[in-house]
Amino acid sequence: MSEIKKFMYVNRKAPYGTIYAWEALEVVLIGAAFEQDVSLAFMDDGVYQLIKGQDTTGIGMKNFSPTYSALGDYEITKIYVEKESLEERGLTLDDLQHLVWEDEDEDWAEKDSIRLVSRSELADVLATQDVLFNF
C-alpha cells in the first residue's frame, strides 16, 4: 500500500446489548496493522461505549472498555465524540474515560485523544475521509 488513506470508523451502538461495539474494536485493532490514518467517531448510542467505570461482573460478559485505553498504543489519536449525542443522553465528557496517546517524539508526553465535536463539525470530518466503516 503506497498511499496513506484516511479511515474512519463510525460507532453508533451501545456496548453490551449487541456485538457491534466489540466487533468494531477488533476490526479497528486489526486494521491498525495497515498503518493508515485512522480516526474513530462515537455518536448516537455509540457514546455509551466510552462511559467510564463499566463493571460487567454481574452480567457475565467480557468488559472490553479497558481496551479503548490501548488505542493510543495503536497510534489511534483522533477520537471524535459528538456533543449532541452526549447531551441528549444526559451525559457530559466527564462521564467518559479519559483517553490519551503518548507522543514518542516529545518524550512520551500524554495528549488527549478525545475531541468533542458538534454534529456539523463531525459532518466536516466525515466529509474528508477516504473510507468509512459503520458499526
Partner 1 sequence: MAMLHLVNKSPYDACSLDTASSIMQGDDSLLLIEDGVYAAVKGGKAAARLEGLKISVLGPDLAARGIGKDKLIDGVTVVDYAGFVDMVEANDKVQSWL
Partner 2 sequence: MGSIEANGKSYETDEEGYLADLNSWDKDVAEVMANLDDCELTDNHWEVINFLREYYEEYQIAPAVRVLTKAIGKKLGKDKGNSKYLYELFPYGPAKQACKYAGLPKPTGCV
**Residue 133 touching partner 2 (CB under 8 A):** no
Beta strands 114-117; 78-82: pairing state: parallel
Sign of CA dihedral 126, 92, 88, 57: positive
Among the listed residues 62, 64, 56, 50, the one whose alpha carbon sits nearest the alpha carbon of residue 98 = 50
What's the half-sphere exposure (Cβ side, CA atoms, 13 Å) at 13?
14
Span interacting with partner 2, options 38-46, 57-65, 92-100, 119-127, rule CB under 8 A: 57-65
Near partner 1 in 97-116, by CB under 8 A: none
Q: Pick the stretch among 31-39, 47-55, 115-123, 126-134 that binds partner 1 (CB under 8 A).
A: 47-55
User: Could you tell me how many residues of this chain bind partner 1 (CB under 8 A)?
Assistant: 25
Q: Can you give the binding site for partner 1, defined by CB under 8 A?
A: 13-17, 44-45, 48, 51-59, 61, 63, 65, 88-91, 95
